[in-house]
Chains A and B, each alone.
Chain A
Amino acid sequence: MLVFILRRLIQSVVVIFLVSILVFIGVFSIGNPADILIPAEASQMERDAAIKSLGLDKPMYEQYFIFLSNAMKGDLGRSFVFNQPTISLITARMPATLELAFCALFLSLVIGIPLGMIAGYKANSLLDRTIMTGSILGFSAPTFWTAILLIMVFAVGLHWLPPSGRGQLGKILGITTSLATWDGIRHLVLPVTSLSLFKISLVTRLTRSGIRETLPMDFVKYARAKGLRKSRIVFVHVFRNVLIPIVTVVGMELGSLIAFGVVTETIYAWPGTGKLLIDSITRLDRPMIVAWLMITVMLFIVINLVVDLSYSLIDPRIRLQRKKS
């Protein structure tokens, strides 16, 4: 197990290094930040001074090495626009993004798994067909579109919920979150719903196919033959096997929730990292984009590692295979 984690960590370092090069090259090809940041009426001398102070006069590889050596010390540069360390800007907004992503994930599991189990057990019934067609409708609607629709209906039309912003924050167990206040929850409802709709459909379909694949297996027949209670077969024997694909996808999807958060955050003016990224792209704030990507990559690597480790907790077969090899 330790060897496995170590190997993964080394792999991760290589991936992060490669991504940093790619990101740097990529970001470099996005326009010239000097054109946007320096006012047009500045004299040539002021211009040169500004370019020099931003470090834009150096060739790309030199800028990369400066970035790399600073990154080793935990410094991902200063934002051109805010003139503050990018890391602190991102970490300040990270809780809002994570809050949105985790709430959406929670909602998709709580709704998706039961729906999928019902559909799987009542396969080809009218209920199953309805759930499955509904799920196709769910993942056919682009996230930004459902977000707009929800604002239209519940904020503009019915005036039930606020259309944008994060609302009042409070503390639960030392974590600052919107979930602590009624106003905060009201602000969360629309963004979380629009973000989770797609995932609910996904989890539903995954659970259904998992159930359908597990039910005809021998161990289920054996459990039935032993005369176990139906609830025990469903929740212990079948459910454990259905859980494996769900855990994989949940890991991947947590990442994509953070990425899709970019869209949701933009529409709902949610003060998270996604909105920061879009603003940085339009303002050509290079250090900000690079730092955002690096931090997101690291986040993904951690998520993927946790997912892989949780496999072995759920599925003993994987644990055994690893011991053998």
Chain B
Amino acid sequence: MKGTASPGRDGMGSKILRELVGSPSSLIGLVICVVVVFLAIFGPLVTSQDPYDLSKLNIMDNRLPPGSVGIDGAVYVLGTDGQGRDMVSAMIYGLRTSLLVGILTTALAMVIGTTMGLLAAYKGGWVDTIIMRLVDLILGFPMMLLALILLAALGPGIDKVILALVAVQWAFYARTIRGTALSEMNREYIEAARCLALSERRIIFRHLLVNCLPPVIVISTIKVAGAISAEATLSFLGLGVPITKPSLGLLISNGYRYLLSGSYWISIFPGILLMLTIFGINIVGDRLKEVLNPRLQENKAVE
């Protein structure tokens, strides 16, 4: 019920923040997340060139090592890639693509999975059977493999990557939500809502949903990292985003060709940024899970 939860809400928020800032590792994670999001939003304002605008690139500047000065006097702090792109600019634009895919995928998968899970739990019967068998089928296979096959069928493109990843990830939310919803269904407030003859839609979305959401929101932070990692892998294999708008994964893939000839920076720097991003999100998500998981807190109290 909303009423019983709300008095603690504000306190909860600041408590979570305190827990996150409290331990050094989660503080690092939080800082990484903030910086990464900041770069992705405001990055284009600080980058020295638009890496997608081929007319601005100078092919004479290709594969310059970090710290070089280009023909027109521009300084390339992290070097340039095979087309003479400034690595810093390319990485920040790549980060935008990666984050966009990660966040959009997770949001869409969460909405679809949550709706399906709630429907399965509330309706029961054959609706439940069909949805959950489908979920079992999807979760029975590694996410990466399904996404790979789907993308092979759909062809490359940011929208298609998101579509393929959503098609795989929603099942996870559906299963989690269904489990929570089934136990919530036995609570009095659902019975009360039914006695008030509220519409099904209202009961499901206004009453059941709000009570099932917290665990899912926590899990979804970690899933953002998973989606970013999956997108990078798919793009690396050449099945993800198109070559004209490289994400971090594709930048690494482009640099991989020059790796054995010694131009390490084209691959290594996007890779470090990618790993830091995923690491930061995972640390925060992991800490959130610990803070919000009441079962673990009970254990702590026992000790």
Contacts and interface: CB of A to CB of B under 8 A. Distances in A.
A129 B287 CA distance: 12
Given A148-B259, A156-B259, A143 B233 contact: yes
Given A136-B282, A263-B237, A148 B252 contact: yes
Interface string B191-235: 000000000000000000000000000000000010001001100
Interface residues on A, range: 35 or more
Contacts of A139: 282
Interface string B151-163: 0110000000000
B148 interface: yes
A140 B142 contact: no
Nearest to A280: B152
Nearest to A27: B153
A26 interface: yes
Nearest to A296: B145
Contacts of B267: 148, 152
B275 interface: yes
A273 B119 CA distance: 40
Contact of B299 (A156, A212, A278): A212
B279 interface: yes
Nearest to B296: A212
- B interface majority secondary structure: helix
A216 B23 CA distance: 25
Interface in A24-69: 26-27, 29-30
A245 interface: no
A142 B98 CA distance: 13
A131 to B, nearest CB: 12
Interface in B249-273: 249, 252, 256, 259-260, 262, 264, 267-268, 271
Interface stretch (A1-9, A107-115, A227-235, A252-260): A252-260
B271 A30 contact: no
B185 interface: no
B286 interface: yes
A278 B237 contact: yes
Given A29-B153, A281-B152, A293-B149, A163 B137 contact: no
Contacts of B286: 132, 136
A144 B283 contact: no
A262 B107 CA distance: 28
Nearest to A129: B25
Nearest to A260: B144
B152 A30 contact: yes
Looking at A23, A26, A142, the one whose CB has the most chain B CB atoms below 10 A away is A142
A205 to B, nearest CB: 9
A58 to B, nearest CB: 20
25 contacts: A15-B137, A26-B153, A27-B153, A136-B279, A139-B282, A141-B278, A142-B233, A142-B236, A149-B268, A149-B271, A156-B262, A212-B299, A216-B299, A216-B302, A252-B142, A259-B141, A262-B237, A263-B144, A263-B233, A278-B237, A281-B152, A281-B239, A296-B145, A297-B141, A300-B140
Interface of A: 15, 18, 23, 26-27, 29-30, 129, 132-133, 136-137, 139-145, 148-149, 151-152, 156, 163, 212, 216, 252, 255-256, 259-260, 262-263, 266-267, 278, 281-282, 289, 293, 296-297, 300, 304
Given A255-B141, A256-B144, A259-B142, 13 more contacts: A30-B153, A140-B275, A142-B229, A142-B278, A145-B232, A145-B274, A152-B267, A256-B143, A259-B141, A260-B142, A263-B236, A293-B149, A297-B141
